[in-house]
Amino acid sequence: MNQRPTYSRPARPELFLILGSGLTVTLIIVIIAVLLIREHASALQAAKRSASNITQLINADVLRNVELYDLALQGLIAATSRKDLAQVSADIRHLVLFDQSTAAPFKGEILLLDKSGAVTADSSMLTPTPRNFANHDYFQIHQQSTDAGLFISRPFKVPCDCEQVWRIAFSRRVQGVNGEFSGVAVATMRLAYFDQLFSSLTIGSGSTINLLNSNGILLAQQPLMERDMIDKDLSSRSNFKRMLREGSGSFSGVSSLDGTPRLYTFTNVGRLPLIVVVALSSEDVFAAWKRAALLVSGATGVLCVGLLWLTWMLRLELRRRYRAEKVLSELAATDALTSLANRRTLDQRLRMEWDRTQRSGEPLALLMIDIDHFKSFNDRHGHQGGDEALRNVAQAIASSVRRPADLATRYGGEEFAVILPHTDSNGAGVIAEYIRSAVEHLPRVAGDTLPITVSIGISVADKNSHGSLEELLLCADRALYEAKHTGRNRIVDAQGL
């Protein structure tokens, strides 16, 4: 009678199913990724346009107000050249000198300084208070240069009532008839103007609007990132260097102040040495995109997971079976009480290491360990106390055996064994001492005055050994017996017997 041949289940349909599902999921992910990338780029472009509009608004407003201050300075300089002013009264002279200064918002003082820096005219009073500003940057720059034009100073504080108010100064050189230096016309402006202007513009909570001069000095920031930000020198920061180099534009970078990723949009204020910077937080820029991306990604993920689940459902039982076999294998190799390897694992591993030693000639050490007086301990504390003592000793042994190739096992009852590949007698003695000391220093059980101790026997096989695996075990057992017979809590090497 002919026997019918048996056939294994065809693998090709299952392979096609896996490949088809994998390809479908891949295409879905690629399409969604492309769409999200495009939306991300759109969100970035929209943020750039919005920030650019803000910079243009600030640019126009600041430029208009600086022009008002410049007109006031030019009017003051023009009025000083009139020879008929000396013949009119002080009020008329004051009105003529400062006729153009009334329209400037947030204005402070408008002063006329002579060539030594002393105040000769003050917009706030007919008779100026004697003061000298020769040590200020807006005086020295005109004293040293004939073509400084309209100079914008660094921020400085001026006492006002009970507080100090930040200001900046606009200044122009006053020249004599022959072009010689005759003094400086100065107009100061309160930086509250920029705070009011910036506060009227809507940006994200983590974003800032900044005004810097071309030397990298921060003139205004809203909101302030730090209390002492005004007049801070940012010229050494890489972001500012890039702005100074490019003049205007946008780029993404990380703030050197707080480490926050930001979208920087910047532009020069006309021909003035001022730079407006709108620094939008990337978190604000992409907040809506992130919410949409999470929603789309979640829906896509559910769809893909569903496809994969349907594809792999046929293999699920096989995987469960494999995991169950693996768990059973681990349980079969592990002692349930101590979580160390059991006797079966010891026999298998010892045979494998013995064969390797025979081939390579490398030494193989075996430690046999027995808990001293365990029977009487068990009688005093019961089986529960005895089990706890076994677990503690096992943990002490395991913590003393640290190399990956070493193996600590429970040999049976209160006995343990440790396999030490590539270990000679001296090395085995060191590890045995670690174990003995670790066990001896375990916390004492309540009611016992003496610590738990172990006796250890060592047996080593090397290239000079001619015995068998059974003799290695027997020698370790004899050494253990000798350790217990000669006082316990000690280590005996079979080579010394």
CATH number of 99's domain: 3.30.450.20
Residue 281 and residue 158 in one domain:
yes
Phi, psi of 484 (to 5 degrees): -75, -35
Residue 195 has pLDDT above 70, yes or no: yes
Q: What is the mean pLDDT of residues 56-70?
A: 90
pLDDT at 393 over 90: yes
Total tally of structural domains belonging to the chain: 2
User: Domain boundary at 287, 320, 353, which?
Assistant: 320
The DSSP result for 213-226, as a single string, is ETTSBEEEEES-SS
Q: Flag whether pLDDT at 2 surpasses 60.
A: no
The pLDDT value given to residue 314: 72
Query: Taking the mean position of all CA atoms in its chain, how far away is CA 187?
Result: 46
Torsion of CA 243, 249, 254, 259, to 10 degrees: 80
Cis ω for the linkage preceding 13 (within 30 of 0):
no
Based on the domain organization, do 373 and 421 belong to the same domain? yes
Q: Give per-residue pLDDT as tens, 484-495.
A: 999 999 999 998
Q: Looking at the domain assignment, is residue 8 inside a domain? A: no
Q: Looking at the predicted structure, is the pLDDT value of residue 186 above 70?
A: yes
What are the DSSP E strand ranges found in 375-414?
A: 407-412
118 and 265 inside one domain: yes
Does residue 271 have a pLDDT over 50? yes
The answer to whether residues 315 and 349 belong to one domain is no
Check whether residue 316 and residue 357 sit in a common domain: no
- Tens of pLDDT, residue by residue over 426-471, are 999 999 999 999 999 999 887 777 899 999 999 999 877 778 899 9
% of the chain surpassing 70 pLDDT: 90
The alpha carbon of 249 is separated from its chain's Cα centroid by a whole number of angstroms, namely 28
| Average of per-residue pLDDT across 180-198 | 90
Nearest to 117 by CA among 142, 146, 86, 93: 142
Please report the pLDDT score of residue 411 as a whole number. 93
187 and 39 together in one domain: yes
Q: Is residue 330 part of a domain?
A: no
Judge contact between 204 and 281, C-beta under 8 A: yes
Residues 470 and 406 in one domain: yes
| 313 & 358 share domain | no
The residue among 288, 320, 352 that closes a domain is 320
Does 106 fall in a domain? yes
Is residue 404 a part of any domain in this protein? yes
Residues 17 and 123 in one domain: yes
Note whether residue 394 is domain-resident.
Answer: yes
Q: If you average pLDDT over every residue of the chain, what do you get?
A: 86
User: Domain range for residue 19?
Assistant: 13-320
Residue 383 CA, chain-centre distance (Å), reads: 53
- Is the predicted pLDDT of residue 54 greater than 80, yes or no? yes
Q: Is the pLDDT of residue 141 over 70?
A: yes
| Residue 128 pLDDT grade (very low, low, confident, very high; cuts 50, 70, 90) | confident
Q: Which residue has the higher pLDDT, 72 or 416?
A: 416
* Nearest residue to 296 via CA among 29, 25, 22: 29
| CA separation, residue 347 to residues 238, 392, 409, 474 (Å) | 67, 24, 10, 14
For the chain, counts of helices (H) and of strands (E) = 11, 16
pLDDT of amino acid 5? 37
Model pLDDT for residues 200-245, shown as the tens digit of each residue: 888 877 889 999 999 999 999 888 887 788 889 999 999 999 999 9
Q: What is the pTM for the complete model shown?
A: 0.54
Q: Are both 171 and 59 inside the same structural domain? A: yes
Q: Of 305, 320, 335, which marks where a domain is finished?
A: 320
| Same domain for 360 and 314 | no
**332 within some domain:** no
CB within 8 Å of 406: residues ≥ 6 apart: 418, 419, 420, 421, 431
Q: For residues 76-95, give the mean pLDDT.
A: 72
Residue 350 lies in a domain: yes
For 81, 124, 142, 378, the CA distances from 127, given in Å and listed in that order, are 20, 9, 25, 107
pLDDT at 49: 92
pLDDT of residue 27: 94
CATH number of the CATH domain containing 420? 3.30.70.270
The one-letter amino acid at 26: T
Instruction: Dump pLDDT digits (tens) for 151-176.
Output: 999 998 876 655 678 889 999 999 98
* Residue 1 placed within a domain: no
Indicate whether 310 and 392 sit together in one domain.
no
Confidence of residue 7 (pLDDT cuts 50, 70, 90): very low
pLDDT at 134 over 50: yes
Q: What would the pLDDT profile of 289-335 be if each residue is shown by its tens digit?
A: 999 999 999 999 999 988 888 888 876 666 677 777 777 777 788 88
- DSSP, collapsed to helix, strand or coil, labels residue 399 as helix
- What pLDDT does residue 102 have? 56
User: What is the distance of C-alpha 80 from the center of its chain?
Assistant: 61
Tell me phi and psi for residue 185, to 5 degrees. Answer: -100, 125
% residues pLDDT > 90 (the chain): 48
Give the confidence band of 83 by pLDDT, cuts at 50, 70, 90: confident
